[in-house]
Amino acid sequence: MYATASDVYEGAERVVSCPICGNTGGRFQSLGYYVKCPSCRGATRAEAVPQDELDAYWQGEDFWSRDEIEKRKHRAPVFREAARILSRVKPIPGALLDIGCGIGTFLAICRDEGWNVAGVDPSPIACRVAEEEYGIEITNDLFSSEFFADRKFDAVFAAQVLHHLPDPEAFLSDVVRVVAEDGILVLRTPNLVPQEWMLRLQRLLGRRERFFCGPTLQVFHPDTLRLLLGRQGFDDVSFVIARPFLEPLRGRAAIPNLRRLLYAGLKVAVYAGTKALFHVSRGRINLGPSLIVVARRKAPPAQGAEEEAGARGRHLREIVGNTLSLGFLKSLAYSFAYYVHEQVAWRARIHAEEGIRIHATASIRYAENVYVGRNSHINHNCCVWAGQRSRVRLGRDVLMGPGVCLFAANHGSRKGSPMMWQERREADIFIGDDVWLGANSVVTAGTRIANGVIVAAGAVVTKDVTEEDAIVGGIPARVIASRKGG
């Protein structure tokens, strides 16, 4: 799986399989004891480290020496900085898991801020110290989602873990199982970008394992992490430049303190420059010594939204499919013919005096039998249907509300013949001058309406209205009042 260091270092840059992204093509570049993948831009140790050696390192007593434990306690500001980054992306504390939590310093800080905390660490010593020092019970093992099968965490933290793992992708795919929807994952791992030349130098100087704490199996480029996290369904991946840890002055000895002071000054200068460059390049140039990644897990689309998206896709396919069919052309021709019949043809045949208005949505049949007097209005959605042998005659100044129907032909009702083929009974409709037909009123064949009549909205007029200026309403319509009285 791995190229050996000598294979790579002798200048024979060989194609190997990248344990980070699986890529096998292109030229793997030598970076001292590491090889850099041309695809994911991550660097992998050229020589594999056996798993039992790794286990011995992390679980043995050497790593968590008394000195190391004391050092961690003093490094509380580093963890407070991490807690600050966490609270910026998750302002409301929920459930937090720290993977590789060590002696639990970060967990203790977060617990004080209201988080419900859990931790896992392979070192029995670290777990014991966490319980003694902070009263936090840690799961003592390498991380597995099985330990937290019935739990989901709003935030999962894994600082200085990923680069120690033989298979970082397998680790992330297991971690994602315990991250709640819309939960976040925060990783901290060395940044290959500023360390690339250091790695080359390391080999030349014959030094091993001095640049990173613990056996480092890979070093990641920001692009590597974007790729790995994207594959696991983290859609929102961003990087943070963290404030450096400045060691406080201690004791009275001048030289060590001067050294601490110079070192702190250098760190602040590097931090300021890195942060400015990161900002100006809109996050494209990240020279921070560590990559701090904040990734948010995609919330699955709501079921309704998914159905809606599915329906939209179906409709679109339906539209495209039908547009390309012969039926569509036929239907287009029918619609066109109908439009000509309803909106164009009659205009040449209708008998109209000046000043009339007919709305575009009105329907006129047998226009040669339709007579419209001066200043009369036919409104939205009105049907003025004369028959083959029957006329509709509107007087002058007739006002029609929307949806008025005048039917000068009627189907018969004889039993034994389909409605379609019933004999039509045709009879003229005469509307007098100055008549107002209210919205949605209906006038049936053979009906005459006298001058000045008002037909109430929704009425159905089936018999002649002979009384001038009458107000009629209802079904069938009858006289309810007179304009003369009002």
Q: What's the min distance (Å) between Cβ of 227 and Zn ion?
A: 8
Q: How far is CA 410 from CA 242, 300, 413, 428, 445, in A?
A: 86, 59, 9, 11, 7
Q: What's the min distance (Å) between Cβ of 40 and Zn ion?
A: 3
Other beta carbons within 10 angstroms of residue 261's beta carbon come to 13
Q: Which is nearer to Zn ion, 33 or 79 (CB)?
A: 33
Q: What's the min distance (Å) between Cβ of 107 and Zn ion?
A: 33
Distance CA 51, CA 403 (A): 84
Q: Which is nearer to Zn ion, 37 or 127 (CB)?
A: 37
Q: Which is nearer to Zn ion, 28 or 64 (CB)?
A: 28
Q: What's the min distance (Å) between Cβ of 205 and Zn ion?
A: 27
Q: Which two tokens stand for residue 122?
A: 């392979």
Q: What's the min distance (Å) between Cβ of 216 and Zn ion?
A: 16
Q: What's the min distance (Å) between Cβ of 199 and Zn ion?
A: 16
Q: Which is nearer to Zn ion, 196 or 434 (CB)?
A: 196
Q: Which two tokens stand for residue 131?
A: 């319980």
Distance CA 46, CA 25 (A): 17
Q: What's the min distance (Å) between Cβ of 162 and Zn ion?
A: 14
Q: Which is nearer to Zn ion, 15 or 266 (CB)?
A: 15
Q: Which is nearer to Zn ion, 23 or 363 (CB)?
A: 23
Distance CA 291, CA 239 (A): 7
Q: Which is nearer to Zn ion, 37 or 477 (CB)?
A: 37
Q: Which is nearer to Zn ion, 106 or 234 (CB)?
A: 234
Q: What's the min distance (Å) between Cβ of 38 and Zn ion?
A: 8
Q: What's the min distance (Å) between Cβ of 18 and Zn ion?
A: 3
SS3 per residue for the chain: CCCCHHHHHCCCCCCCCCCCCCCCCCCCEEECCEEECCCCCCEEECCCCCHHHHHHHHHCCCCCCHHHHHHHHHCHHHHHHHHHHHHHHCCCCCEEEEECCCCCHHHHHHHHCCCEEEEEECCHHHHHHHHHHHCCCEEECCCCHHHHCCCCEEEEEEECCHHHCCCHHHHHHHHHHHEEEEEEEEEEEEEHHHHHHHHHHHHHCCCCCCCCCCCCCEEECHHHHHHHHHHCCEEEEEEECCCCCCCCCCCCCHHHHHHHHHHHHHHHHHHHHHHHHHHHCCCCCCCCCEEEEEEEECCCCCHHHHHHHHHHHHHHHHHHHHHCCHHHHHHHHHHHHHHHHHHHHHHHHCEECCCCEECCCCEEECHHHEEECCCCEECCCCEEECCCCCCEEECCCCEECCCCEEECEEECCCCCCCHHHCCEEECCEEECCCCEECCCCEECCCCEECCCCEECCCCEECCCECCCCEEEECCCCEEEEECCCC
Residue 480: HSE in the Cβ half-sphere, 13 Å Cα cutoff: 13
The binding site for Zn ion (CB under 5 A) comprises: 18, 20-21, 23, 37, 39-40
Q: Which is nearer to Zn ion, 21 or 408 (CB)?
A: 21
Q: What's the min distance (Å) between Cβ of 23 and Zn ion?
A: 4
Q: Which is nearer to Zn ion, 17 or 343 (CB)?
A: 17
Q: What's the min distance (Å) between Cβ of 47 and Zn ion?
A: 17
Q: What's the min distance (Å) between Cβ of 224 and Zn ion?
A: 7
Distance CA 329, CA 102 (A): 73
Q: Which is nearer to Zn ion, 36 or 90 (CB)?
A: 36
